[in-house]
Structures are given as C-alpha cells and as structure tokens.
C-alpha cells in the first residue's frame, strides 16, 4: 500500500511539474505575441494593434501570479530536491522575467499610439530591426526552456551584444536628428524610450537563458555578461554661440 501511495505521489508531483512547464510555455507565447504586436504597431503605424498589445498585459500578469502560486505550493508541500527543485524555482524566475517583458511591450505599444499621430520618420525601420532581433532571442530562449537545452540557452546569452550594437547606433542617429532639427526632439524622445525598452527586453531574455542553463546543468554561466551598451559614454558635440 505504501509503495502504491509513493508511486502515486511521485506521479502527481511529475504532473504538477509538467503543468508548470506548460504554463510557462503558454505565458511565453503570450509575451512573444504582445511584444511582436507592439513593435509591428510602430513599423506599420497600426494604432489598433498597439491598443491590442496594451490590453494583452493583464492576462500575462495574471498568469505570472498563478505560476508563482502553484510553484510555491509545490515547494511547500513536496519539498523537491535536485533537478525538481531547480525546475520549480526556474518556473518562478522565468514567469517574473516574462512579466517584465510584457510590461515593456505595453510601454512600447503606448508610445506607438503617440508616434502614430506624428509624421512618419525613417528611423522606425531601425527600431523594427532591433525589435525583430529581440523577438528572435525571446523565441529561441523559450525553445531552449521547452527542450531543456543548455547549449541553446547559452547561444542566446552570447547574442545579447547584437541588440546593444543596434541600440548604440540608433541612439547616436536620434541624437544627430535632434541636434539638426530641434522640432523632432519630442518625436525622437519617444523613439529613444521605445529603443531602450526593446534593449531591456533583450536583457530579460538573457536572464531567462541563465535560468535555463542553471536548471539543466546545475551550473552558472560566466559572470562576463556580453553587454555592449555604450550610450552612457556617448558624447554630444556642442557648439557655443558667440
């Protein structure tokens, strides 16, 4: 009887862990879609799509709370060890990172609504390219989680500098735009905020990669984060008027 009970307990725990993984995959899909809609809304000047992205944030928030609640109950009731413990803790951490990506997507979408009221500006194509890169990172890291693939997670982690490089270039272009024509300052400020939100979403994808790697390997990636954001060191040429 005891053996049967133990077997039943193990099976029930495995089913709950699988349910957590499925919930993370579903939440990841929602975050992907919301982020894609927010970036597309700027590229296509589609206000309806932007409003849809803003409205999608509540569902992602609710899922994060549900996943966290289920994972904490598993920790309290089952006291998992080794890989089971890492999987349970990873669910909490990844859900938190996805919730932040959802928030960033909502912020981008809100800026898109404002930008779409203004005349078009060619730099939105650079934003779209940056958004596509960030979305690709998010998709690949979610695949790495689903496949329990540490190598794929590490590959995403190493790509973080690519988004930073696009961000650095765009940052300099926008500064030049504003200096050449002060009338564009308001518009360019919105674009700078969008670019920063995209760059930060890449950071969260990189955080997920670290969590996945640890979950699979029980080891940590190097502390040498592949960051390449140099905007804090960008100097702005200033000509003093006589």
- Which of the listed CATH numbers 1.20.58.220, 1.10.4030.10, 3.40.50.10580, 3.30.70.1150 matches domain 2-233? 1.20.58.220
| Domain boundary assignment for the chain | 2-233
Task: For 64-76, give one letter per residue: b (16+ CB within 10 A) or e.
Answer: beebbebbeebee
Per-residue model confidence as pLDDT tens digits over 29-81: 999 999 999 999 988 999 999 999 999 889 999 999 999 999 999 999 888 88
Q: Does 236 score more than 70 pLDDT?
A: no
The burial of 60, by beta-carbon neighbours within 10 Å (0-12 exposed, 13-18 middle, 19 or more buried), is given as buried
Give helix then strand counts, H and E, for the chain: 8, 0
pLDDT at 2 over 70: no
Kindly state the DSSP code that residue 119 receives in the 8-state scheme. P
CB 62 within 8 A of CB 99: no
**What is the Cα 221 distance to its own chain's centre?**
19
pLDDT, one tens digit per residue, over 118-151 is 888 777 778 888 999 999 999 999 999 999 999 9
Q: Which of 20-29, 93-102, 193-202, 223-232 has the lowest mean pLDDT?
A: 223-232
Give the pTM: 0.88
Count the Cβ atoms, other than its own, within 10 Å of residue 242: 3
């Amino acid at each position: 009887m005891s053996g049967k009970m133990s077997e039943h307990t193990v099976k029930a725990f495995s089913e709950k862990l699988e349910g957590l993984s499925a919930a993370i995959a579903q939440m990841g899909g929602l975050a992907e879609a919301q982020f894609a809609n927010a970036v597309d809304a700027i590229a296509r000047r589609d206000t309806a799509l932007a409003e849809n992205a803003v409205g999608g944030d509540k569902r992602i928030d609710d899922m994060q709370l549900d996943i966290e609640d289920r994972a904490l109950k598993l920790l309290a009731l089952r006291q998992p060890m080794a890989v089971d413990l890492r999987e349970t803790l990873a669910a909490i951490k990844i859900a938190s990172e996805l919730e932040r990506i959802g928030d960033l997507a909502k912020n981008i979408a809100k800026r898109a609504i404002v930008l779409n009221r203004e005349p078009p500006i060619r730099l939105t194509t650079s934003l779209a390219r940056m958004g596509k890169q960030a979305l690709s990172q998010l998709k690949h890291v979610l695949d790495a989680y689903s496949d329990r693939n540490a190598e794929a997670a590490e590959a995403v982690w190493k790509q973080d500098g690519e988004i930073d490089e696009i961000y650095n270039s765009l940052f300099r272009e926008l500064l030049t735009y504003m200096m050449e024509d002060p009338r564009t300052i308001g518009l360019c400020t919105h674009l700078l905020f969008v670019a920063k939100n995209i760059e930060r979403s890449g950071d969260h994808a990189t955080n997920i990669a670290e969590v996945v790697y640890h979950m699979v390997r029980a080891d940590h990636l190097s502390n040498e984060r592949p960051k390449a954001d140099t905007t804090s060191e960008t100097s702005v040429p200033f000509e003093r008027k006589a």
